[in-house]
Structure 1
């Protein structure tokens, strides 16, 4: 019997280059961008249903999250000019180009809406800006998952079907967490529903992502990424349970909000670390390629 082949590369080097993106810049960029998008949607719906405190909470969260997300991205790039250079052209076939053109207008619109809400100036224009940002928000919430999936990193590329749902569910739960923390219980019902629904979507998509492909799923269940993602799941479950009781208890609302916020950040870092882990081991690159070639 021939023993099972070990996947090696020349001189023990990885088949592909490990991403050089920095921590915490890129995980923070992923988390804050998703939070900003889902918060903008929350603000739009809260405004339409007459919940002024939740509306303001969503607008401020969207503006702050988008601004901080851009700041972390620019810090990772090294110079602001590099971000501006990405806006010189619009290339529909490039997720990076499309993502840049989602991030920049959304940030401006969300910032204008929040500034108008806080100052009381130009309320009509501010409301219009927030509304347009709320329409763009679903793309803002999930485009970072497409950016990762479009790379050659197997831990990100192979689960390209599930990753947008993981990011969307995590973002919705995180926005719901902010709403529960900042808005009074009488206005926070949509935030509580967002928290529970987002947590359910994230958990279901994460389970599917980890078990659809046993080889790639290993990077999400082992090592540092596996440890972080298990903690994220525990926090997500705890936050969703707390959200159910948040209507009657302020303590439960705060606890649920903190758990879901921490879970959202941990999920982004875990996914980021899983991708880096998969790039280091040639097996995660070679096995999926051979499997596709055999079809």
Structure 2
């Protein structure tokens, strides 16, 4: 009788080569997610108006540009050779998520720069204000894409972990980006003394964190069904995905916000706990991305994970 396959490969080599994404790529995904969602918030705040709307829109637009510049610089640094960035813009490949992502970065960067120009020069030049207002809609639309496109890039690879749950992964990245952007803006609003809008942003961040948790739970169920969840249960990825991403990034912020809400109007916790929650969400957002990148590399080294993901169904005979 023929013995069942137990994960052996040619000369013991892995079926895939790990991507080798380090902390810089996790920082890039976080920065671009914050930048994209900040523009979504800026567009919503401009449409809603309100007494403190102008200050929020201004800070959201400037945060978006700062995040985009930081993320792009980190990405170019990771590519080692700056001209590789230029090479990605030489052609347009509709079937390539990388090509879509590269051009999305260009469109988002240009629209965000226009909104920032309107904020910085709009008081002196009418044309700059008009340019900034006209660019807000495309900046918000491209920003929504920026919040999730990195998940699309990961899920269209052959990596077992990343490709097994594309929809929950995109939803989790999108919710995390909104939670991180709202948290960063809440800190800026509190520093500017605009506490009412800061509290609304903190509520938005808590709701987005709940969405992130639900999406990642759905992804975990899918990974378990396919049988590729092991890398997230071992070593560094386990610590990053559990205590850091779920603990600091979800449980702590939600608990801090709940305690602040039930505290009395003059209680110290009402003003001290929300910034703690915002910082926790930002740390957890980085941990989530870094955990998934490291676990993905570990998954690529496991031939059994690759074949289970390729089949798209449970196959635990070699475990």
When normalised by structure 2's length, the TM-score is: 0.85
Q: For the residues of structure 2 that align with 1:9 and 1:290, how far apart are their CA atoms?
A: 17
Q: Which runs of 5+ in 2 are unaligned?
A: none
When normalised by structure 1's length, the TM-score is: 0.92
Partner in structure 1 of residue 236 of structure 2? 224
Q: For the residues of structure 2 that align with 1:156 and 1:241, how far apart are their CA atoms?
A: 30
The Cα shift of 1:216 comes to: 1.4
The Cα shift of 1:277 comes to: 0.8
Partner in structure 1 of residue 120 of structure 2? 118
Query: What RMSD over aligned residues (CA atoms) do the two structures have, in Å?
Result: 2.3
**Does 2:179 match 1:173?**
yes
Determine helix, strand or coil for the equivalent of 2:183.
helix
Of the three residues 253, 256, 262, the one matched with 1:239 is 253
Partner in structure 2 of residue 162 of structure 1? 168
Q: Is this contact kept in 1: 2:160–2:310, CA < 8 A?
A: no
Q: For the residues of structure 1 that align with 2:206 and 2:146, how far apart are their CA atoms?
A: 21
Partner in structure 2 of residue 12 of structure 1? 12
Q: Is this contact kept in 1: 2:107–2:142, CA < 8 A?
A: no
The Cα shift of 1:4 comes to: 6.9
* Cα distance, 1:88–1:291 mapped onto 2, change above 3 Å: closer
Of the three residues 230, 238, 262, the one matched with 2:283 is 262
| Deviation digits for residues 172-199 of structure 1 (CA, Å, limit 9, x no counterpart) | 1101101210112212244123202210
Partner in structure 1 of residue 206 of structure 2? 196
* Cα distance, 1:292–1:207 mapped onto 2, change above 3 Å: closer
Q: For the residues of structure 1 that align with 2:291 and 2:147, how far apart are their CA atoms?
A: 18
Q: Is this contact kept in 2: 1:175–1:191, CA < 8 A?
A: no
Q: Is this contact kept in 1: 2:164–2:222, CA < 8 A?
A: no
Partner in structure 2 of residue 47 of structure 1? 46
Determine helix, strand or coil for the equivalent of 1:186.
helix
Q: Number of matched residues?
A: 293
Q: For the residues of structure 2 that align with 1:246 and 1:74, how far apart are their CA atoms?
A: 41
Partner in structure 2 of residue 85 of structure 1? 87
**Does 2:222 match 1:212?**
yes
* Cα distance, 1:67–1:254 mapped onto 2, change above 3 Å: same
* Higher Rg of the two aligned structures: 2
* Cα distance, 1:171–1:246 mapped onto 2, change above 3 Å: farther
Q: For the residues of structure 2 that align with 1:13 and 1:65, how far apart are their CA atoms?
A: 39
Partner in structure 1 of residue 27 of structure 2? 28
The Cα shift of 1:11 comes to: 2.7
- Runs (4+) off by over 6 Å: 1-4
The Cα shift of 1:119 comes to: 4.1
Q: For the residues of structure 1 that align with 2:314 and 2:295, how far apart are their CA atoms?
A: 24
Partner in structure 2 of residue 149 of structure 1? 155
* Cα distance, 1:238–1:118 mapped onto 2, change above 3 Å: farther
Of the three residues 252, 266, 269, the one matched with 2:273 is 252
Partner in structure 2 of residue 95 of structure 1? 97
* Cα distance, 1:64–1:257 mapped onto 2, change above 3 Å: same
* Cα distance, 1:245–1:75 mapped onto 2, change above 3 Å: same
**Which moves more between the two structures, 110-119 or 10-19?**
110-119
Of the three residues 273, 279, 304, the one matched with 1:283 is 304
